[in-house]
Structure 1
Amino acid sequence: MQLTFFVIPNNTCFPETGKSQVYLRIDNWNDYSYKTLYEIVLFDEKGNKRELGYVKIANFGQTTEERIELPKQFEFLDERFFSLGQSDHYYSTLMTLERQLREKFLRNINDIVFNEELLKKALDEDVTTTSLLRDTSLTTIKGQYRRILNDGAILTRYNFAYETKQTNNEAGYRLEFKVEPESNPPTNIHVLIGRNGVGKTHLLNNIVKTLIKEPSNKGRFDYISDKQNEGYFFSRVVSVSYSAFDPFKPYIKTEGLRYEYIGLKEIRKDNITSLKNRDQLTIEFVKSFEHCFHVGKKDRLKKAISSLNSDPLFEELEITLLLEQNWDENKIKYIFDRLSSGHAIVLLTITKLVETLEEKTLLLLDEPEGHLHPPLLSAFIRTLSDILKDRNAVAIVATHSPVIVQEVPRSCVWKLSRFGLEAKAERVDTETFGENIGTLTREIFGLEVSKSGFHKLLKDDVENGLTYEQIIQKYSNQLGFEARLLLRALLSDKDIF
């Protein structure tokens, strides 16, 4: 069986028909001065067309100043070259081919997922670590991509724990996290909730330090379900926070996992941290959107943004149409600049996550509710869950918001409490997914709710001996349904009506 490869310029359309042919269209996307990207279409021996997406092709000894020209027509790449598909779609689509054709294609294009010896050799090349692995980690290659080619499932279970020891000035916690593939409701978002000061944010920061092997880290992971592969359990860690009191540090270099920071902070050349302004966030969004546009992530981004269309503003702006048109930077800037701060943060975060998340990413979010009204927050969490599922990733969210708790099952919620250096992590008593917000608020914050807000006002009135009618009159008949129920309960306890 013969398979012929053709290289075509970036301004050329793919043919609509062919047999046993592969077309590689040059893409001039620049990976830190390396140009290795090609869009690829394959026609099988029956003329069926397969759009594989994108592949990066490099050669041994390649420098940043050059793009190695491939022959305009060839049957196989020689030993100077090696390649890597840029998404699970690439390898999943190849799995729809007959085995003989699939293996011939992978062998002839020198694919480093298919050829383990070639992978070992390619890892010594700067072009591999800088360009080919820019959006894909070694964990993804050895895990997800190889698993796909072996006809395995993409989604995997997670079962891990994180533990911090009590010190002279810090409380200690042990938290377990489990993710079941295809579970309903989804279990890929885990929530840490509790009052201010219990250590939620500090815990997230410690998780980052542990994974990137920061010397000051004070915790450890226990990979319960994957004892043989602890070194590759996570492929990278991503932290997200848009708070002015953001706990995360945008580390430039790390010793452990690859680390991505998404947030307001930036490190200047003098190593001083400053906060980004709106113009800088616009530039960051445009770059991220462009990356997704050019590197085979259009469909993933389109799907994610479509999930946000339950919000009227996102629906009105029709942002997904930008992914169906030619690249237009000015139009993208214009739309982003029209957004409120909350909508802008959601769109930027979702776009950055589509850009950065890969298989076995651990995502950490600190108080995402800060800029979002409840319906937009719910839409964000559902969209986030879909992205995580698509990437076989997991998130841990620190929050005060029962709206977020309402979007996940009880098995994914840790209620944290602390008294001095004595800390406790426990599951809530009621099922949380879809539960009433008031019920969740009382369940999580309990006594604190009864001592604050309208609870305290009504309790004080009852303690002062007022009757139901007197209290109703005092508030000019403006008590809501829940307040009236609470009032009757308080009066019942006092035997006053």
Structure 2
Amino acid sequence: MKVIYLNQNSEKYKELKKLKLNFISLWSDNWDDYNYQTTLNANAFIDGKEVDLPRIKILFDGIQVTFKYLNDLLKEGWDGYFPLVGKNYVSLPVSMDFYELLIGHACINQARTCAEILNDASYSIRIKDDESIIKLSNNSAFSTSLLRDRSASVALQEGWRLFNDDFIEISNFSFDFDIGEKNKSIPFDFETKILPHEINVLIGPNGCGKSQTLHKMVSKWLDPSLDDSGMYSKELNVRKLIVVSYSPFELFPVDLNNFNNISDKSVYNYFGLRRRSNTVDKSKNRIKLSRSYPQIDAVDSILNCVVDDIKFNRIKDWSNKIDTVYSVLNEAIEFDSIAIEITNKVNKVDLYSDFIFGTEPVFEKNGKRYIKISNDTNTSLNIEEIRKHVIKTSGVCFFKKGQLQKMSSGQRLFSYIVINILGSIKKNSLIIVDEPELFLHPTLEIEFVSMLKKILKNYFSKAILATHSLVTVREVPKSCVHVFKKELNETYINNPPFETFGGDIQRISSYVFGDKSTSKPYEAWIKSELETYGSAKALIDALGRDINEEMIVQIHSMDKKEWF
């Protein structure tokens, strides 16, 4: 595997392609990291195919602007090929996708060669134990520029494992934060023993701080310099953070516009009812709320699934996203195909290419035009052209035997959550969902947990949910359940003293919400009627068939003053 710096020499790139050698080309970029410009654009040519790569940062000892330094070397007669003998430098990609794509399209040995040539920080420090690279990585410029992004930090932490073909999984961590004047700590348990540990749950009555805790966690992950947002027990090996919240009152960041410390904007996605307006005058871009944003996001996300399947399908253990969408949603919705609506202002042959046989993806129904999203045709779709002509407000549409399926609002939102998560998820993502049960009936709540577990498993990811849902708690072990309780203006956070996985709903409810100490309206009614009828027998006789066995037991217990 050759690595060459081309600056902006596209002619040289064309010449190299004609030789049909495997190579990585690096191109100049003027991205500024607090007066350090170490970023280079990258792509590869492997087995006759172009592969887009994430950007990579290269720091030379004592040099602030990498591309100018390399341009000067070219002028002095350097041929552009790495390694640069006699020069002290270290590199780090902004994402582990860089080496995963190389391994997928070439092999581990060629990726390892690239890491050797470029003095990759993770490889050089963790595998080679290279003293000169370790020393350079301790330079303030390394943390200022190369470690600017969360995804780059994970590449430093975990990237070396790719070259050893090791499994990478999000580790346990704790989050310390203040509620009122008290410091609290939540130990998040993600390491699977026998019971599934993909999901951790925050549960408790309203007003006890669950959503506030999630907000603090998100803010601290996005900006570690914030002093008032808590602290993680260690550097998280999370490659991407995805937030899902369809409450109209939440205030999670909708994008990274206010986080200048992050250059790789792909490390965070928010899905909800809020979005920043997009106007020519950036100063007028305000956060707006709309019920149409979920379906707009879902259309973008289903197309992102197609793009990711094409781009990453060669990566080891890649789980096809469109297949996952179909398999997961078929458990809750009856359909046989997915489509999105397209305007009539574009010639259908411009929406796809090289389509020779089979059923073409564009079809019409009830005067509207749709394009089918399916692995049968995805590689033929012209995604950029489709994005120009798709009607996003129609959302993602589901068809069964050629008929458009009508869905409840709960089913539709459920489908949007699935598609939005899949459209943005990468390996080792952390999914944060605030009150997923808001618009879901109990059956869909169970389906939601089931689909989330499947997605998390497929992409080696984890999730944290803030919820009131008891059926959700029943699906996770007690070490993953964090119960918030507020007493005398102080919040307490504990794990249940009994196993919740497959547990009794009533027992969980009593512990979480204090059912036994909370008077219920029907209990007040029984007490009043007992006073009216004078005895349990008289009340039971009067009710006749309008009574169940549990109510009979409770009436007798309350009559004997034995109900507490």
Aligned mates of 1:419, 1:401 — CA distance in 2: 21
Aligned mates of 1:368, 1:405 — CA distance in 2: 13
Q: Does structure 2 conserve the Cα–Cα contact (< 8 Å) formed by 1:308 and 1:314?
A: no
- Name the SS for the 1:211 alignment partner: helix
Deviations 1:158-217 (A, max 9, x none): 1323231533xxx6533221221x433321311111111212112222222333348886
Q: Which residue of structure 2 lines up, in the alignment, with residue 467 of structure 1?
A: 536
Instruction: State which of 244, 254, 257 in structure 2 corresponds to 1:252.
Output: 257
Residue pairs, 1:213-228, within 5 angstroms:
213=223, 218-223=228-233
- Name the SS for the 1:285 alignment partner: helix
Cα distance, 1:237 vs structure 2: 3.8
Residue pairs, 1:82-481, within 5 angstroms:
86=97, 90=101, 93=104, 99=109, 103-104=112-113, 137-167=151-181, 173-180=184-191, 182-213=192-223, 218-223=228-233, 230-231=234-235, 233-250=237-254, 252-254=257-259, 259-268=268-277, 269-278=283-292, 280-295=293-308, 296=311, 299-313=319-333, 315-317=335-337, 322-324=374-376, 325=378, 326-327=380-381, 329=386, 336-337=396-397, 340-358=408-426, 361-447=429-515, 451-462=519-530, 465-467=534-536, 470-471=539-540, 473-474=542-543, 477-479=545-547
Give the aligned residue type for 1:368: P
Aligned mates of 2:230, 2:430 — CA distance in 1: 15
CA RMSD of aligned residues (A): 5.0
Cα distance, 1:129 vs structure 2: 11
Cα distance, 1:392 vs structure 2: 4.4
- Name the SS for the 1:425 alignment partner: strand
Q: Which residue of structure 2 lines up, in the alignment, with residue 48 of structure 1?
A: none
Aligned mates of 1:164, 1:361 — CA distance in 2: 26
- Name the SS for the 1:252 alignment partner: coil
Cα distance, 1:111 vs structure 2: 8.2
Cα distance, 1:401 vs structure 2: 0.9
Cα distance, 1:321 vs structure 2: 5.6
Q: Does structure 2 conserve the Cα–Cα contact (< 8 Å) formed by 1:191 and 1:398?
A: yes
Q: Which residue of structure 2 lines up, in the alignment, with residue 68 of structure 1?
A: none
Aligned mates of 2:324, 2:170 — CA distance in 1: 21
TM-score, structure 2 length as denominator?
Answer: 0.61
Residue pairs, 1:27-38, within 5 angstroms:
none
Q: Which residue of structure 2 lines up, in the alignment, with residue 9 of structure 1?
A: none
Deviations 1:289-317 (A, max 9, x none): 22231233574423542452353425444
Q: Which residue of structure 1 lines up, in the alignment, with residue 5 of structure 2?
A: none
Deviations 1:81-119 (A, max 9, x none): 99877378646647976x4x66457668998976787x9
Give the aligned residue type for 2:557: S
Change (3 A) 1:399 1:59: closer
Aligned mates of 2:174, 2:555 — CA distance in 1: 44
Aligned mates of 2:113, 2:226 — CA distance in 1: 50
Q: Which residue of structure 2 lines up, in the alignment, with residue 16 of structure 1?
A: none
- Name the SS for the 2:333 alignment partner: helix
Cα distance, 1:157 vs structure 2: 2.8
Q: Does structure 2 conserve the Cα–Cα contact (< 8 Å) formed by 1:164 and 1:172?
A: yes
Cα distance, 1:275 vs structure 2: 0.5
Deviations 1:248-303 (A, max 9, x none): 2425222667643221112335253210342x443322222222312335744235
Give the aligned residue type for 2:187: E
Cα distance, 1:139 vs structure 2: 2.9
Deviations 1:366-407 (A, max 9, x none): 101111122222222233234334444432211111121122
- Name the SS for the 2:463 alignment partner: strand
Give the aligned residue type for 1:308: V
Give the aligned residue type for 2:559: K
Change (3 A) 1:304 1:270: same
- Name the SS for the 2:195 alignment partner: coil
- Structure 1 gaps of 5+ residues are 4-19, 25-34, 44-50, 63-75, 224-229
Aligned mates of 2:211, 2:169 — CA distance in 1: 29
Change (3 A) 1:384 1:58: same
- Name the SS for the 2:497 alignment partner: coil
- Name the SS for the 2:168 alignment partner: coil
- Structure 2 gaps of 5+ residues are 3-19, 25-39, 59-65, 68-80, 85-90, 126-132, 278-282, 314-318, 340-371, 399-406
Give the aligned residue type for 1:179: F
Q: Does structure 1 conserve the Cα–Cα contact (< 8 Å) formed by 2:536 and 2:555?
A: no
Q: Does structure 2 conserve the Cα–Cα contact (< 8 Å) formed by 1:178 and 1:187?
A: yes
Give the aligned residue type for 2:171: R
TM-score, structure 1 length as denominator?
Answer: 0.68
Aligned mates of 1:140, 1:439 — CA distance in 2: 40
Q: Which residue of structure 2 lines up, in the alignment, with residue 66 of structure 1?
A: none
Aligned mates of 2:302, 2:519 — CA distance in 1: 47
Aligned mates of 1:437, 1:487 — CA distance in 2: 21
Which structure's CA Rg is the greater one?
Answer: 2
- Name the SS for the 1:282 alignment partner: helix
Aligned mates of 2:538, 2:330 — CA distance in 1: 42
Q: Does structure 2 conserve the Cα–Cα contact (< 8 Å) formed by 1:201 and 1:366?
A: yes
Change (3 A) 1:217 1:348: farther
- Name the SS for the 2:299 alignment partner: helix
